[in-house]
Amino acid sequence: MISKALLKQISSYKQKKFRDEDNVFVVEGEKCVDELMKSDFEVVNLFATNEWFLKNKKYSDKFVEVSEKELERMSNLTTPDKVLAVVKRKESQKPELKGALTLALDSISNPGNLGTIIRLAAWFGIKNIICTKDTVECYNPKVVQATMGAIFHINIVYTDLAMYINTIDKSFPIYSTVLEGGKNIYKEKLSKEGLLIIGNESRGISDKVKVKVNRPLTIPSFAENKEVESLNASIAAAIILSEFKRG
């Protein structure tokens, strides 16, 4: 049984300011919650229907049964999916760049894109993502949902990206895709370590970050129609990461 006060509190987490105040985020759906339970994130509350509980009795110490109507009031989804958890955020760690490929996101604004990129990062074994401060919040419910649980496996840092790059050795590989003037990604020998920058969906990377790139890449288009638009940010990220991991 859930009190009206607690129901109101959980519903308030649909807004960023209340998530920030309590330093929490919301996770929904069986797949995402299953990944959560495998992680070392602290679960503050776990609300679910009786149907979910009957299949997951091992979590009975954290479980509060709610009706579908109550779950609907808490949920950010059009159709709530049996279970919702409130999770304590973890402190971000300083990324270790040496010997690894690290993603940097410059002003990604679409929650679905960010969530998909986080999911891609986990798939390709990326441990760290560095985001500009104006990149969409990684704890946005739409982002969390799009990660399908991958958010629990990636260290995500928000910072001034241009200033951060200034602290990196100038010989360290800094990659980004550009429409013109970059090396063909399918022909270029790619390093096993580096900082890979993905730019904003419509503007690409900002000028102050672009000047820091020392290894520009281009994903060539094979379209006969040269007026085809540039790639979606998450699709570009998938292509680039795949090429880096090709060996």
The amino acid present at 114, given as its one-letter code, is L
Please determine, for residue 247, whether its predicted confidence score (pLDDT) is greater than 80. no
* Sequence-distant (≥ 6) Cβ neighbours of residue 21 within 8 angstroms: none
CA atoms within 13 A on the CB side of 125: 9
For residues 99-127, average pLDDT: 97
Please determine, for residue 229, whether its predicted confidence score (pLDDT) is greater than 80. no
* Sequence-distant (≥ 6) Cβ neighbours of residue 165 within 8 angstroms: 174, 195, 209, 212
CATH fold of the domain at 4-88: 60s Ribosomal Protein L30; Chain: A; (3.30.1330)
Q: Read off the pLDDT of residues 35-81 as tens digits, 9 standing for 90 and up.
A: 999 999 999 999 999 999 888 888 777 789 999 999 999 999 988 88
The residue that leads in pLDDT, 180 or 106, is 106
Three-class DSSP labels, 157-209: EEECHHHHHHCCCCCCCEEEECCCCCEECCCCCCCCCEEEEECECCCECCHHH
Residue limits of CATH 3.30.1330.30 in the chain: 4-88
Please determine, for residue 214, whether its predicted confidence score (pLDDT) is greater than 80. yes
* Least confident residue range of 21-25, 30-34, 120-124, 222-226: 222-226
Q: Read off the pLDDT of residues 172-189 as tens digits, 9 standing for 90 and up.
A: 999 999 888 899 999 999
Dist. CA 240–CA 104, nearest whole Å? 13
For residues 108-122, average pLDDT: 97
Evaluated on CA atoms 37, 153, 12, 79, the torsion sign reads: negative
Class of domain 101-244: alpha beta
How many C-beta atoms surround the C-beta of residue 19 within 10 A?
20
